Amino acid sequence: MGAIWLLVALGLLAAARFCVRPARTYRAWWVALVATELGHVWAVGALGVACGTASFAVASEAGAGGAAGGLAAGLTLVAAGLFARPAWSAWRMSGRVQTELVRVFGGGGAARCDGVWSWRRLWRWPNAVRRGPVETFGAKEAGAGGMPVDFYRAQPQDQSNLLGYFVPGAAPCVVVVHGGGWNSGDRSQLAAFNHWLAERGVAVAAVSYRLAPAHRWPAQIDDVRAAVEWVRTNAERLGVDPERLVLLGRSAGAQIAAATAYGEALPGVRAVVALYGCYDLEFVWSIRSETDSLNSDKLMKQYMGGGPEGVDGAERYRSGSAEKLVHAGVPPTLIMHGALDELVWCRHSERLAAALERAGVPHVFVRLPWATHAGEANLHGPAGQLITGAVLRVARAAGR
């Protein structure tokens, strides 16, 4: 029996290590995502196992069984501590994140009633949200050259609603550009996030873009530009303020959104949100590999059609690299990235933040010490709360 307890303890410890160490493979990333964004649940389970193994060790007294039980109890306590790290870290940094968001984007006063952290919310079922209707507009209706759009209409808020606050008139709108490595994914990705924002008075337009390898960069710029123009043109019937748009991209979509917003004049876009993306494609090309978790060599060749050689190649890569397009007039930017992200290194966001700092562009860079890729997959988890709360604040403050 002691050996069984020891095996359980070792299994928990193996999973818990991803709260402090990066996952090196795509399969391990899934384990890391569960371990970090549901770590609080696993911490309680590990404490229960620790109590059970400690009781077994005491009952066994001396002998191999008792020793194994004692060792298992110690290991599960360590695992519980590691599992608890994400929630503890998120709570500790939440105050600083709120302060930085208000400093850069404004939105003090009423916005303060919505924090970016809640211990109570942490225990909600993952992605449990009130889901309203989704209005789908086809490519033809979304404008010439446009792609389909899923629209999440902002829900009316009232002053008695403790989760939100009064939203008079037209709502701000977040235009979401999905991830998926440029060759996959669609606009329904992480739809719970969109519903969550809509419930709090922020409209969401989740847009499609043409995928590689059939469509290479810079085709995606046209798609995002058309989506923003469509939202502005139809602002009245959508119930949104055409001058209070936020362009948000995650992963591959973050590269597209940031490069489009920095390289194009997008009227009405008052802020950019870049979640765990890459922002210097020439740098990505230089570190690509056939053996990494995403086969980045294949992805880059599919997306960019080759390397940055020659005049055309160099300009194509530059047009897709937000880091190289930074200038003093780009929109204020929120950057968020997990420090343990091995699918897209946090270094990409660090470099973008440094470029924005040099150019004097208002920005907030939130480095999540425990998080891996796509931390908001659980909206109510540690990374999920900070990301959703930060985006909500940016959207509410946009254009004010």
Q: What is the pLDDT of residues 267-312, one digit of tens each?
A: 999 999 999 999 999 999 999 999 888 899 999 999 999 999 999 9
> Token pair of 305, please?
């059609």
Count of Cβ atoms closer than 10 Å to residue 311 Cβ: 7
Confidence grade of residue 163 (pLDDT, cut at 50, 70, 90): very low
Judged against a pLDDT cut of 80, whether residue 168 lies above it is answered with no
The pairing of strands 240-250 and 171-177 is: parallel
CB 363 within 8 A of CB 333: yes
Does one domain contain both 49 and 132?
no
In a domain, 101, yes or no: no
CA distance 347 to 352: 9
Confidence grade of residue 68 (pLDDT, cut at 50, 70, 90): confident
pLDDT at 165: 44
Q: Which residues pair with 151 in a beta bridge?
A: 135, 205
Does one domain contain both 119 and 64?
no
Does one domain contain both 337 and 237?
yes
Does one domain contain both 83 and 217?
no
pLDDT at 138: 84
**Average pLDDT over every residue of 136-147:** 70
In a domain, 359, yes or no: yes
Among 90, 117, 151, give the residue marking a domain's end.
90
Q: At a CB cut-off of 8 Å and minimum separation 6, what does 33 contact?
A: 372, 373, 374, 375, 377
pLDDT at 72: 86
**Average pLDDT over every residue of 217-234:** 95
Q: Dump strand ranges (E) for 251-308.
A: 269-275
CA distance 108 to 380: 23
Does one domain contain both 346 and 388?
yes
State CA 345 to chain mean position distance: 13
CA distance 114 to 389: 8
Does one domain contain both 149 and 257?
yes
Does one domain contain both 330 and 261?
yes
Positive/negative CA dihedral, 15, 21, 25, 30: positive
The pairing of strands 135-137 and 149-152 is: antiparallel
**Average pLDDT over every residue of 102-121:** 78
Closest CA to 78 of 50, 56, 54: 50
CA distance 179 to 371: 17
CA distance 13 to 73: 11
**Average pLDDT over every residue of 336-343:** 97
Positive/negative CA dihedral, 387, 388, 391, 397: negative
In a domain, 172, yes or no: yes
Three-state secondary-structure class, residue 229: helix
**Average pLDDT over every residue of 22-44:** 96
**Average pLDDT over every residue of 202-213:** 97
Positive/negative CA dihedral, 394, 395, 397, 399: positive
Q: Total structural domains in the chain?
A: 2
Burial 158-195 (b: 16+ CB within 10 A, else e): eeeeeebbebeebbbbbbbbbbebbeebebebbbbbbb
Judged against a pLDDT cut of 90, whether residue 226 lies above it is answered with yes
Sequence letter at residue 301: K
Confidence grade of residue 246 (pLDDT, cut at 50, 70, 90): very high
CB 122 within 8 A of CB 84: no
Share of the chain above pLDDT 70, in %: 91
pLDDT at 159: 42
CA distance 322 to 358: 14
Q: Dump strand ranges (E) for the chain.
A: 135-137, 149-152, 171-177, 203-207, 240-250, 269-275, 333-338, 363-368
Does one domain contain both 113 and 84?
no
Among 90, 119, 146, give the residue marking a domain's end.
90
Does one domain contain both 68 and 113?
no
Share of the chain above pLDDT 90, in %: 82
In a domain, 288, yes or no: yes
Does one domain contain both 81 and 134?
no
Does one domain contain both 346 and 262?
yes
CB 235 within 8 A of CB 241: yes
Q: At a CB cut-off of 8 Å and minimum separation 6, what does 374 contact?
A: 33, 179, 190, 250, 251, 276
The DSSP output letter for 237 is H
Domain range enclosing 23: 2-90
Closest CA to 147 of 236, 253, 306: 253
Does one domain contain both 170 and 316?
yes
**Average pLDDT over every residue of 216-224:** 96
CA distance 185 to 375: 17
Q: Is the link from the previous residue into 168 a cis peptide, with omega within 30 of 0?
A: no
pLDDT at 110: 45
pLDDT at 60: 66
CB 311 within 8 A of CB 213: no
Q: For all residues of the chain together, what is the average pLDDT?
A: 91
pLDDT at 55: 81
Q: How many residues does the chain have?
A: 400
List the single range of 111-115, 121-125, 329-333, 374-378 with lowest mean pLDDT: 111-115
**Average pLDDT over every residue of 252-261:** 98
CB 367 within 8 A of CB 82: no
Confidence grade of residue 112 (pLDDT, cut at 50, 70, 90): very low
